[in-house]
Amino acid sequence: MKLPRVLFGAASSGSGKTLLTCGILRALMDRGYTVSSFKCGPDYIDPMFHTRVIGARSRNLDTFFTGEKLTRYLLAENSRDADIAVLEGVMGYYDGVGGTTPGASSYELARVTGTPVVLIVNGKGMSLSLAALVKGFTSFRPDSGIRGVIFNQVSPKIYEELKAVVEAECGVPVLGYVPNLKDYAIESRHLGLVTPDEVEGLQEKLSGLAKILEKSLDFEALISLAEQAPELSASEPELPRLEEPVRIGVARDAAFCFYYEDNLELLRKMGAELVEFSPLKDAALPEKLDGLILGGGYPELFATRLEQNTAMREQIGRALEGGMPCAAECGGFLYLQNELEDMRRFPHEMVGFLPGKGYHTGHLSRFGYVELTSRRETVFGPAGTKLKGHEFHYFDSTDCGDAFTAEKPVRHAVWECVQGGENLAAGFPHFYYYSNPEAVYHFLKRGSEYAYRRDHQ
């Protein structure tokens, strides 16, 4: 598959990758390109911003979850109709699993997919040191893949001089600069950037940003670099599929908005009909559901409204008591418990199907990749079932469960997590479904069995 593509990496988090990527996506679309976009790593919010720009679901690419072959397939599959693919890196370019390896880093993703890299360098408070930084990144690995540089927060008055020095010292072309853009900054909170719905005038900001970048970046050089990417070799994995479809309710609103799009697409490929609903706004579940998925998000910010929607809470509780299969992650897990504190630490009544109370810790309770192994049968399969995922949360629970053992790769810290049974897996880990499609198929089969019991009583 011939797919022009480029990855934007950076020296560190906070270098402006997301804002710059969104501006470039908009500028490419304004030029008439059909664009696919991707985020490296286990990130939910950045793809939401990409999605707002391109008008189609942005995806995650993560070699920890999917290895080399499957990662290439997901890139190819989700770029089938695209003229160009834009990949946004994660953290610092070489930062990977365990903090001491390049595994699952932006660098590894670029290497695995053969994607040319443009390094974004925050030049605030720097001059000649920019050359030293670029030199270090390009020479740290002989196959760094870095084929261009963009300066962020650099004055146009000294740009040409800095460009000449860096190109002479490092042998890498500088493809433009981004001036200081105070009016275009995106606010952050405890789980990262705010969501796109909370940014006032987002589309106008993105349009204005694209116009600025058209003047300060060399788009012809960027597009030419993307077109130099080698052909992408990928093969489709064999997946199990249900004979009859099942209806799976997916909680999706401002409180429950953290989903890997490829997780949902995998469910569809296996025979699921996904029906979205809102625990915030809807008075009842969709009719004839065969299973539930409650994703992560910000239930703590909407705890009052979730508590006030007693009809929804009671109906979810009855459905789960009746054996409806359910997978709940992080915020969805907290929603199923007895109580949840809001950001002021005021308790609110939740569904009450699970024991435990969610409370605010004021710091990251868990952070990073996990390898999970079930200790007994759950909705994802028998004891010994393995899945990969990640955790990232400022809340904790008085009852995190013990159905799975979680282990951090490289550091090998181990703990128990997830409340689970034959029709349930609810806990803080966010599972990546492609890491074990058979486990996901087991969840859907549970849905088929539930539907049969319901319809033949």
**Would the pTM count as exceeding 0.85?**
yes
Question: Predicted confidence band at 409 (pLDDT cuts at 50, 70, 90)?
Answer: very high
pLDDT in tens, 280-306: 999 999 999 999 999 999 999 999 999
Rounded to an integer, the average pLDDT of 207-233 is 96
pLDDT for res 194? 61
Residue 188 pLDDT exceeds 70: no
Question: Predicted confidence band at 268 (pLDDT cuts at 50, 70, 90)?
Answer: very high
How far is residue 395's CA from residue 383's CA, in Å, rounded to a whole number? Answer: 28
Burial of 243 (0-12, 13-18, 19+ CB in 10 A): exposed
Structure tokens at 301: 């910010």
How far is residue 36's CA from residue 51's CA, in Å, rounded to a whole number? Answer: 9
How far is residue 326's CA from residue 340's CA, in Å, rounded to a whole number? Answer: 19
Structure tokens at 296: 């992560």
The 3-state DSSP class for residue 173 equals coil
How far is residue 120's CA from residue 14's CA, in Å, rounded to a whole number? Answer: 11
How far is residue 246's CA from residue 448's CA, in Å, rounded to a whole number? Answer: 6
pLDDT for res 392? 87
Are the CB atoms for 6 and 86 separated by under 8 Å?
yes
The one catalytic residue among 40, 170, 326, 330: 330
Residue 153 pLDDT exceeds 70: yes
Report which DSSP code applies to 261. H
The question of whether 22 is a catalytic residue gets the answer no
Which secondary-structure segment (H or E) carries 439?
helix 437-455
Write down the CATH number for the domain with range 246-455: 3.40.50.880
How far is residue 273's CA from residue 246's CA, in Å, rounded to a whole number? Answer: 6
User: Taking the domains of the chain in order of start, what are their residue ranges?
Assistant: 5-227, 246-455
pLDDT for res 54? 75
Q: Which of 436, 427, 337 is nearest to 380 (CA)?
A: 436
pLDDT in tens, 23-70: 999 999 999 999 999 999 988 788 888 888 778 779 999 999 999 999
Instruction: Please state which of the ranges 198-202, 208-212, 358-362 shows the lowest mean pLDDT.
Output: 198-202
How far is residue 261's CA from residue 28's CA, in Å, rounded to a whole number? Answer: 23
- The residue type found at 216 is S
Question: Predicted confidence band at 18 (pLDDT cuts at 50, 70, 90)?
Answer: confident
pLDDT for res 197? 67
Write down the CATH number for the domain with range 5-227: 3.40.50.300
pLDDT in tens, 166-182: 999 999 999 999 988 77
Query: CA-based diameter of the chain, in Å?
Result: 78
The 3-state DSSP class for residue 325 equals coil
Rounded to an integer, the average pLDDT of 217-244 is 96
Report the phi/psi class of residue 233: left, alpha or beta, with left for phi > 0 and alpha for psi in -120 to 50. beta
| Average of per-residue pLDDT values in the chain | 93
Which secondary-structure segment (H or E) carries 107?
helix 106-113
273 vs 411 pLDDT, higher one? 273
Q: Which of 301, 38, 136 is nearest to 149 (CA)?
A: 136
Are the CB atoms for 71 and 109 separated by under 8 Å?
yes
Residue 449 pLDDT exceeds 80: yes
Q: Which of 325, 360, 367 is nearest to 342 (CA)?
A: 360
Structure tokens at 154: 């650099």
How far is residue 102's CA from residue 5's CA, in Å, rounded to a whole number? Answer: 21
Rounded to the nearest 10°, the torsion over CA 416, 418, 420, 425 is: -140
Question: Predicted confidence band at 186 (pLDDT cuts at 50, 70, 90)?
Answer: low
pLDDT for res 48? 82
Alpha-helical (H) ranges within 242-397 are 261-269, 303-308, 310-321, 331-336
pLDDT in tens, 312-366: 999 999 999 999 999 999 999 999 999 999 999 999 999 999 999 999 988 777 7
- The residue type found at 415 is W
Q: Which of 229, 11, 6 is nearest to 120 (CA)?
A: 11
Residue 107 pLDDT exceeds 90: yes
Same fold, 5-227 and 246-455: yes
